[in-house]
Chain A
Amino acid sequence: MSQALTKVEFTNLDKVLYAKVGIKKTQVIEYYIRIAPKMLHLLAGRPLSLTRYPDGVDKQGFYEKDIPRGTPSWVETFKRYSETAQRDINYVVCNDLDTLLWLANLAALEMHMTLSTTDSFMKPNLVLVDLDPKPPLGYDDVVEVALLLKERLETPGLRPYVKTSGKKGLHIVIPIVPVYTFQQTREFVHQLGKRLAMESDIVAADFSRSRKAGKVFIDYLQNSHGRTMVCPYSLRATPSATVSMPLEWKQITKGFNPEEFNIATVPAIDSDPWKDLLQNSQKLE
């Protein structure tokens, strides 16, 4: 293989990363290769936070914002002063296939992205409504709240998109023109949650009630500077290697199992429901 297809030199391909389902690093890299055409444009220009599992998801992973030592010079980065770390952090920005594969080779199984892009970092172009159920509530309850939310958003003419979180919840995302501050988008989601909480017993719109059993918390706090959302099509560090999967609204029905969307099943799925996400920037009026 003399003509190099990628700048990345793959290492430890035999390392088992998902022991329960026997998934090795080579399959993780292959997953990201296959999903890249649908995934890359959604990541473009967004600083990433990574959760790396070099010894597999059964062992402690680690959270990484700053680029690791030995980052190749061709990887694009975004420098930003971090209040919490009290120093400059160089975030990875994944604008091309090589960077995605480099991350996969680092066993950065989970990739999380900011809701804004580097060219208007303080004005987000995505609004995230994060639905998180507290036991004994489960997926059916999240679905119920999601469908209620969809109706509320569509009435004034907005077009929301939906994906599984890859864990217990659903993410509803509204692409917007980057003219609002995080405070405005946060307030938008908070108000939305408050209105819904009046209509539904299982909705919690405030953090203080979010930990109560039997509630679905509409988490508006994610719409903040420095916060991130798990990337669409990112793997999760779950035993069955689930994926945060963009879906059509018609797929959001009671009885569906988000674990169906995992490393083995997702590459074979043809549909691409978030294809036009970034061409549909909307106003929040």
Chain B
Amino acid sequence: MAKDEKGRAPRRPIWTGSIAIGLVNVPVKLHAMVFDKGIHFRFLHKDDGQPLRYEKVCTKDNKVVPWESVVKGYETTKDRFVVFEKAELDAAKPESNQTIRLQRFVDYLSIDPIYLDRPYLLAPNKSDDAYSLLSTTLKKLGKAGIGRVTMRDKEYPVLIYPYKNALVLTTLRYPHEIADPSQLEELKDIKEPSSEELALAKKIVSDLSGEFDITDYRDTYQEKLTALIEKKLKGEPIVAEKPVQAEAKELMVALQETLKQLKKK
């Protein structure tokens, strides 16, 4: 069994609703469970160290296009688009729902991990008894429930299963989002190995077999970067200056005058 490494505390719920099984309802709150801890960089101007921003530029005349003149287009074939207004797209969005109906229960281990997308932590929402009953039952049976949820304008199939005395909801990928290996040219004529080769390979693998422990793995690139940043911080980091908006400039003139008057008092 893997050693427990202390994870981080979940943040505020991003969705509330309930899990429905038959006539039973379990109100739940959904928390984010995985976090991107990567180190991010911003682009700066090399000469003065100020942050750069992106602008939308028309590919025809190279002029900057303001936001109100931007629409969305779907590229049907190269350089041919069908254009959509925001209202048209909004009308097609699915409505968020408040219930995840579990239609079927499956053996958790029978699910190919390739379908597992993003896990979320489910917390009971004043429903401790029903929550505990559901998670304990699934744990004892080694089962996971399958349902469907609409969150943030997207509809997902989801899997609900027990994890460390809690329930986890993992969104699933659709088959069309996953590459089919049989389509890959190199995989079309793969030969079976000989029985001697196979026996030797199996021996090597079983000699190296052990328990899975995620703490054996560290993000060494991240560690190196963190050390580098610490080092640079001891030197002189470049401080970004906030540009003052045009309207705010007039306020600054008035402010200077008032500050002068207040000082006199």
Partners in one complex: yes
B 214-247 to A, binary, CB cutoff 8 A, 1 in contact else 0: 0000000000000000000000000001101101
Tell whether B258 is near chain A: CB-to-CB under 8 Å: yes
A37 vs B242: C-alpha distance when bound (angstroms): 27
**Pick from B249, B250, B251, B261: contact of A37, CB under 8 Å:** B261
A26, B262: Cβ atoms closer than 8 Å: no
Binding site for B on A (CB under 8 A): 1-2, 5-6, 9-10, 13-14, 26, 29-30, 33-34, 36-37, 40, 97
Q: For the complex, what is the distance from the CA of A40 to the CA of B255, rounded to whole Å?
A: 14
Chain B residue, CB-CB nearest to A9: B242
A97 touches B251 (CB 8 A): no
- What are some 9 contacts across the A-B interface (CB < 8 A)? A5-B255, A5-B259, A30-B250, A33-B254, A36-B262, A37-B258, A37-B262, A37-B265, A40-B262
**Residues of chain B with a CB closer than 8 A to A40's CB:** 262
User: Which of B241, B248, B259, B265 touches A2 (beta carbons < 8 Å)?
Assistant: B241
> What's the Cα separation between A86 and B54 when bound, in Å?
50
Interface size class, chain B: 10 to 19
Q: How far is the CB of B38 from chain A (nearest CB, A)?
A: 28
Cβ-neighbour of B244 out of A1, A29, A30, A34 (below 8 A): A1
Chain B residues positioned under 8 Å from A14 (CB to CB):
247
The answer for the CA separation of A34 and B255 in the assembled complex, in Å, is 8
The 7 A-B pairs of least Cβ separation, nearest first, read A1-B244, A13-B247, A37-B261, A33-B254, A5-B255, A26-B247, A33-B258
Interface residues of B (CB under 8 A from A): 241-242, 244-245, 247-252, 254-259, 261-262, 265
Complex alpha-carbon distance, A85 and B258, angstroms: 38
Q: Are B254 and A30 closer than 8 Å at their CB atoms?
A: yes
B251–A10 CB distance below 8 A: yes
Pairwise interchain contact A33-B255, C-beta atoms closer than 8 A: yes
B246 to chain A: closest residue by CB = A13
Chain A residues, Cβ within 8 Å of B252: 1, 5
CB distance from B17 to the nearest CB of A (A): 25
Name the distance in Å between A280's Cβ and chain B's nearest Cβ: 18
Closest partner residue, chain B, to A30 (CB atom): B254
**Contacts A1-B244, A97-B259 known; A34 to B254 CB distance under 8 Å?**
yes
Which residue of chain B lies nearest to A2 when distances are taken between CB atoms in the complex? B241
Roughly how many angstroms separate A234 CA and B78 CA in the complex, as a whole number? 61
12 new A-B contacts at CB < 8 Å, known A26-B247, A33-B255? A9-B242, A10-B245, A10-B248, A10-B251, A13-B245, A13-B251, A30-B254, A36-B258, A37-B258, A37-B265, A97-B258, A97-B262
Residues of A within 8 A of B248 (CB): 10, 13, 26
Q: Closest CB-CB distance, A206 to chain B, in whole Å? A: 43
**B249 CB → nearest A CB, Å:** 8
Q: What separation, in Å, do the CA atoms of A79 and B1 have in the docked complex? A: 52
Given B245, B250, B255, B261, which contacts A6 in the complex, CB threshold below 8 Å? B255
Docked complex Cα distance between A29 and B254 (Å)? 10
Minimal Cβ-Cβ distance residue in B for A38: B261
Closest Cβ neighbor of A40 among chain B residues: B262
Kindly provide the distance from the CB of B252 to the nearest chain A CB, expressed in whole angstroms.
6
Q: Which residues of A contact B261 (CB under 8 A)?
A: 37
Cβ-defined partner of B251 (8 Å) among A2, A29, A36: A29
Closest to A100 in B: B258
A17 CA to B50 CA, complexed, in Å: 34
Min CB–CB distance B262 → chain A (angstroms): 6
Would you call A30 and B251 a contact (CB within 8 A)?
yes
Contacts of A97 in B (CB 8 A): 258-259, 262
Q: Closest A-chain residue to B244, C-beta based?
A: A1
Residue from B245, B247, B251, B265 within 8 A of A33 (CB atoms): B251
Q: In the complex, what residue of chain A is closest to B259 when comparing beta carbons?
A: A5
Taking each of B250, B251, B259, B261, which has the highest tally of chain A beta carbons within 10 Å of its own beta carbon? B251
Give the contacting residue for A26; candidates B242, B244, B251, B265; CB below 8 A.
B251
User: Complex formed: what's the CA distance from A18 to B253 in Å?
Assistant: 23
Question: When chains A and B are docked, how far (Å) is the Cα of A1 from the Cα of B250?
Answer: 12
Q: Which residues of B contact A9 (CB under 8 A)?
A: 242
Chain B's closest residue to A25 (CB) is: B247
Contact A5 B256 (CB under 8 A): yes
Distance of A14 Cα from B258 Cα, bound (Å): 22
- Residues from chain B with Cβ under 8 Å of A26 in the complex: 247-248, 250-251
A261, B22: Cα distance in complex, Å: 68
